[in-house]
A = this chain, B = another copy of it.
Amino acid sequence: MSIRDLARHLDISIGTVSRALNGKSDVNPETRERVLAAAKKLGYVPNQSGRSLRQGTTNTIGFMIESTIETADNGGSFFMPVFEGVQSVFRRHHLDLVALLCGTDEDPSAYLNRVVGRRFVDGLIISATTRNDPRITFLLDRKIPFVALGRSATGGAYPWIDLDFEGVAATAVTRLVNFGHNRIAIGVPASDINLGYVFQDGYKHALAANGIPFDPALVLPAHSNEEGGYQVASAMLAQKHMPTAVILVNENMAIGLYRRFYEAGIHPGRDIAVIGFRESTQSRFLSPTLTCFRISLRDLGIKLAEALLSTMPAFRNNYPQERVELIWPMELVPGESDVLKRTA
């Protein structure tokens, strides 16, 4: 149903139909009413592609995620609730959200360049920021509104929100030290993703604050999935003095780690202390239930959307004008996995 079809149906000129749809005052009120009624009935929707050229807006915001191994394994359960929160804000402004999927073997910067060229988004949310992230410079240079989910060492003034990886590491280390542990391993991402660096820094600071020397042998890089957790457990089992506790940067790792320890006759929550990362729908159904950290991903999505809109001329008046640079706190959810209950 194009405007041409609509005009033909009504037997009115295209120009008149267009002026009626756009609320121009030189159209007879009865005609306008007929046009609007027919447009509604026939499901006419303006060609956004033409509108975008005239108005420079598409009413669409892109959320760029990378469908790498990392996100393929666990990105979905993370991103879906975030999308929900973002959408709840966008709905107020009749904005649609699309997920821009950057493929595994594609350079994220080249992808972003192309997406921006297509001009079907008015603004962007980027995620999985790397330690040095050229996308940030690219978007700043072009004055394209964006917000980053994740920090980066790349400079520039832009809004970002990140999870409190330092806080999680510090809380987990201190909790385990209080339980009597001093050989505490961490399972960290094998990739260049910035959160890996931040998490390790938090771990080191917390060890130092508790007077425990840092031992690089206890930093175990692995994929952020079940297989990675299985490998972390294997690496721990192979050590001469096995660590008595482990903190994982991803909750899916816990399932593989549990399995590997069970195979070795070692019971998590009895023989070894485990702290996972984010509370998921599974955490409290695992045996033992997983000590982890709670975050409302929907609220995170809401805040991301608001941080973005506060930078966009068409929407900024609805939101506070400070640039959002926010470390999102996560709340400890004690489980059975890190309090060792000796049966003997």
Contacts and interface: CB of A to CB of B under 8 A. Distances in A.
Interface of A: 1, 43, 45-50, 52-53, 58-60, 62, 67, 71-81, 83-84, 87-88, 91, 96-101, 103-104, 106, 113-120, 138, 142, 225-227, 229-230, 252, 255-256, 258-259, 262, 281-282, 285-287
A330 B162 CA distance: 40
7 nearest A-B residue pairs (beta carbon): A76-B76, A45-B117, A48-B118, A99-B99, A72-B80, A259-B285, A87-B103
A120 B75 CA distance: 25
Given A78-B76, A103-B88, A117 B46 contact: yes
- Main SS of chain A's interface residues? helix
Given A71-B80, A230-B285, A49 B258 contact: no
Number of copies: 2
Contacts of A101: 83, 87, 97-99
Contact of A49 (B53, B88, B91): B53
Max chain B CB contacts within 10 Å: which of A58, A88, A99? Answer: A99
A276 to B, nearest CB: 14
A72 B43 contact: no
A195 B293 CA distance: 34
A287 B265 CA distance: 13
A62 B97 CA distance: 12
Contacts of A97: 101
A11 to B, nearest CB: 22
A74 B114 CA distance: 30
A98 B98 contact: yes
A60 B119 contact: no
A71 B80 CA distance: 7
A81 B75 CA distance: 11
Contact of A84 (B72, B225, B255): B72
Contacts of A84: 67, 72, 103-104
A284 B96 CA distance: 39
Contact of A76 (B75, B98, B138): B75
A98 B58 CA distance: 15
Contacts of A119: 47-49
Contacts of A114: 45, 96
B72 A81 contact: yes
A281 B227 CA distance: 8
